[in-house]
Amino acid sequence: MESLSIATPRVLRPVIGSVTLSLIVALYLVSVTNRTFWSKAMEYLAAPSTAVFLLGIGLFSLFAAICVTASVKYLTKPFFILLIMIAAACSRFMDTFGTIIDVDMIRNAAETTGSEAGHLLTAGFLAHMFLFGIVPSLLIAVVRIKHRPFPQKFKHNIVLILCLLAVFTSVSIANVRTFASTIRQHRDLVATLNPVAPIFNAVRFGLATGADKNVAVQPLGTDARVIAPTQSGKPRVTIIVAGETARAENFSLGGYARQTNPLLARQDVQYFTDTSSCGTSTAVSLPCMFSVYPRSSYTHRKGLETENLLDVLTRAGVKAEWWENNTGSKGVADRIAYTSFSDINDPRFCKNNECLDGVALDRLGAWLDGVKGDSVLVIHQLGSHGPAYHLRYPENFSRFTPECRTAELGNCSRQEIVDTYDNSILYTDYILSTVIDMLKARGDRMAGAMVYMSDHGESLGERGLYLHGAPYFIAPPQQTHIPFVLWTGSETKAGIDQACLRATLDEPRSHDNLFHTVLGLMNVSTKVYEPALDALATCRTRAAS
């Protein structure tokens, strides 16, 4: 800014009063960067209505009060530019994908990988940032702000701020009933107030992250032990495929009209048709699904400070290992063997540290051949992670066409987006079926099982929503209804009444079931195991053999 004022001749720079500029910035933020907020407000407050009009006056007054407060020499320009840039970036995601930027969304953004974030920085995003962020910021940078002499400004601004706050308060009080009931019924409204909500949530995230640094992990299942080895003496081997962004709606195993699971359909798998996720994002769901806590009592903090399924298995003497092909295990694999495919960046499967899920199959055979005792391997897929669905599968899986071969979803028709997404599900079908084939091929040496659960679903344009990460209370079923597939080898299968199991497949299941189902499959006894949450317990004819 300083260099600009030296480089630009003073005469050419328009002069503007600090209060006038504050009011313009407030108006810009309230109107231009809040399209999503206003479209919701107009719907919920039945526009055209007095309530909408008064809400506009009230919010403008509040924003103006904040801007005038910050219109202090040297602070004005950086503060306004920062607000505008944040609001511009957030409005792009809110207006284009229907994203709500809450604490979990900020956590996802903070924990994402460069390649994943890169897919969101499209030409559309850059154009939006130029138009709604850079251009107004340049205008602010170029003008000369006139401040009154300090004592006069202080008095003047205090009076003005009090007046603005008085307008905001009286408008709110006059409509308190309408506003309160609307906010209570439609919690997504306040959550889209830009940039207030994102900034508020970023501060909350920062505070929580600071507090999380001192977490001491508490032991869990200290009494865990394998009840008995298999009768044959073969090791029990369970592969948990932690799916990514697969929604149940597009699984033909669950009734989707398109054949997206042709290979699994030929395997002897069980598909649980009514399974819900713990969260709508990787950062929430992944630690939650491996946690002992059910969704009803799970918190991010509890997940961090308590050992998880993999720790309990390790205590029981089961070898637990994690293969990562996504944005990290979110702390779940902190205490076990861990391999990251993006770090290895094998050129046969990976480009710019992003790898097709086939990379896991490539080494699974050797891993299985090296198994010595009871083992659990988690494969965290890249799955169907958007928006670049077309990069999630090799060319020979382009079965549904025409595809959307860009991360700029706005440039594709809904059908193209669905085609591309379905191809990624088709590839996951191949991955899962191949895992099963590999376990089957080693049936003489191990008692195998595979559990597949996606971490959350995905919106593909329904109700104007794209991607995932909606706050759970307003999340559409596309984001929370997930596929859950189970395959067991003959030995484990023999201990389960198959007719009984088939009869339970439509019962409600969720991520709450993973912890206990896997302990049951591995025949681990511990006081933290709850048979009621083991998806197989009611149909077990005897302790797993």
| Chain positions contacting Zn ion, by CB under 5 A | 244, 282, 455
Contact (Cβ atoms closer than 8 angstroms) between residue 192 and residue 507: no
> Closest separation between CB of residue 117 and Zn ion, Å?
14
Query: Quick check: bond before 387 cis, omega within 30?
Result: yes
> Closest separation between CB of residue 351 and Zn ion, Å?
20
Extract the tokens encoding 533: 């949450």
What residue number has its CB nearest to Zn ion? 282
Q: CB-based contacts of 450: which residues, under 8 Å, 6+ apart? A: 238, 239, 240, 241, 432, 435, 436, 439, 485, 486, 487
> Closest separation between CB of residue 103 and Zn ion, Å?
16
Half-sphere exposure of 172 (CA within 13 A, CB side): 13
Among 220, 33, 218, smallest CA distance to 132 is for 33
> Closest separation between CB of residue 222 and Zn ion, Å?
31
> Closest separation between CB of residue 405 and Zn ion, Å?
22
> Closest separation between CB of residue 244 and Zn ion, Å?
5
Gap between the Cα atoms of 201 and 207, Å rounded: 10
> Closest separation between CB of residue 143 and Zn ion, Å?
44
Gap between the Cα atoms of 140 and 134, Å rounded: 10
Give the other-Cβ count within 10 Å of 421's Cβ: 26
Residue in the block written with tokens 């600009």 = 4
Residue in the block written with tokens 């032991």 = 219
DSSP notation for 106-119? HHHHHH--HHHHHT
Q: CB-based contacts of 413: which residues, under 8 Å, 6+ apart? A: 404
Gap between the Cα atoms of 473 and 188, Å rounded: 9
> Closest separation between CB of residue 282 and Zn ion, Å?
3
Q: CB-based contacts of 5: which residues, under 8 Å, 6+ apart? A: 13, 144
**Residue 244 or 374: which CB sits closer to Zn ion?**
244
Bridge partner list, 354: 351
**Residue 354 or 455: which CB sits closer to Zn ion?**
455
Identify the burial level of 539 via C-beta atoms within 10 angstroms of its C-beta, where 0-12 means exposed, 13-18 middle and 19 or more buried: middle
**Residue 324 or 455: which CB sits closer to Zn ion?**
455
Among 245, 190, 244, smallest CA distance to 466 is for 245
> Closest separation between CB of residue 107 and Zn ion, Å?
12
Gap between the Cα atoms of 36 and 97, Å rounded: 10
**Residue 244 or 491: which CB sits closer to Zn ion?**
244
Q: What H or E segment, with its residue span, contains residue 87?
A: helix 76-97
Gap between the Cα atoms of 164 and 71, Å rounded: 15
**Residue 194 or 280: which CB sits closer to Zn ion?**
280
**Residue 244 or 422: which CB sits closer to Zn ion?**
244
> Closest separation between CB of residue 210 and Zn ion, Å?
25
> Closest separation between CB of residue 412 and Zn ion, Å?
21
**Residue 279 or 489: which CB sits closer to Zn ion?**
279
Contact (Cβ atoms closer than 8 angstroms) between residue 409 and residue 352: no
